[in-house]
Structure 1
Amino acid sequence: MKPIFTLWALAAWLCAGPALAQTAPDAADGKTLFAKNCAACHQADGRGIPGAFPALAGSALAIGAPAEATEVLLKGRGGMPDFSGSLDDADIAAVLSYVRASWGNRAAPVADAEVGALRTALQLPPASRNRFGNKH
């Protein structure tokens, strides 16, 4: 009986998910930050504006490896500005996590530590503004 209980306890622990110290960014913050910094181009529904601003709903970039989308937010791309100076790691993680879980997208949240590690690897300084930074 004891081996079965141990097996069940181990299975429950493995399925429990990340520890509380690794909690996902606050979805409300991500939605607010997206509305303030991204929705003018990518639209509140994530569909973008065809021919001008790409859709994030169903986007391979949005739901793919977090590092690529994180780099786009940190460095910009094409006509998109960078947010490395105006959004801190937690803000960028919150926006990315919101996008990855909205409009039918189903991808794991992004942790602020992941953003910070990439910011360091790209040799970008910390953000000078944070929490609901100005819209670019």
Structure 2
Amino acid sequence: MKPVLTTALMSAAALAATALLAVAPARAQAPDGKALFMKNCAACHQASGKGIPGAFPALAGSKFVTGDHAEVAGVLLKGRGGMPDFSETISDRDLAAILTYVRGEWGNKADALTEDEIHKLRTALGVAQFGTAEMSNKH
């Protein structure tokens, strides 16, 4: 092979590898539970997690929030009382990130939830899969 062609091929391969490395970390990065909470939950439950007495329950210091994975995740997937379900509007990955954030914020001390747990619970509850809603956001 001619030296110019070999150099060009090596440069193209190096450029492609650099582009792949630049994209890979963005895909692997975990969702930001705090940012997702602020976007989807803080209007009602407040950025402080203290809620609005008589209207929206506090998440800070809540035994329910720090309790059983299936119960707390079930509320997000099915709704409860005045809270809408988020089964069709928030992905399992993002729901896990939100719940992990809430369970570890404002003095709460509880373990994380995983995307796989949310997916299995979604299946067990028979709730709609993410992305099947006609509208992308109910709230």
TM-score, normalising length: structure 1: 0.75
Q: Which amino acid aligns with 2:92?
A: D
The list of structure 1 runs, each at least 4 consecutive aligned residues, that deviate by more than 2 angstroms after superposition, is none
Q: What RMSD in Å do the two structures reach over aligned CA positions?
A: 1.7
The partner residue of 1:70 within 70, 73, 77 is 73
Q: Which structure carries more relative contact order (alpha carbon 8 Å, separation 6+)?
A: 1
CA shift digits 1:86-131 (9 cap, x unpaired): 01110110000000010000100001111000000011232007xx
**Percent of aligned pairs with the same residue?**
59
Q: Which structure's CA Rg is the greater one?
A: 2
Closer, same or farther: CA 99–71 of 1 in aligned 2, 3 Å = same
2:113 equivalent in structure 1: 110
CA shift digits 1:4-32 (9 cap, x unpaired): xxxxxxxxxxxxxxxxxxxxx94x61111
CA distance in 2, matches of 1:80, 1:125: 17
Instruction: In structure 2, list runs of 5 or more residues that go unmatched.
Output: 1-28
Q: How many residues align?
A: 108
TM-score, normalising length: structure 2: 0.73
Closer, same or farther: CA 46–103 of 1 in aligned 2, 3 Å = same
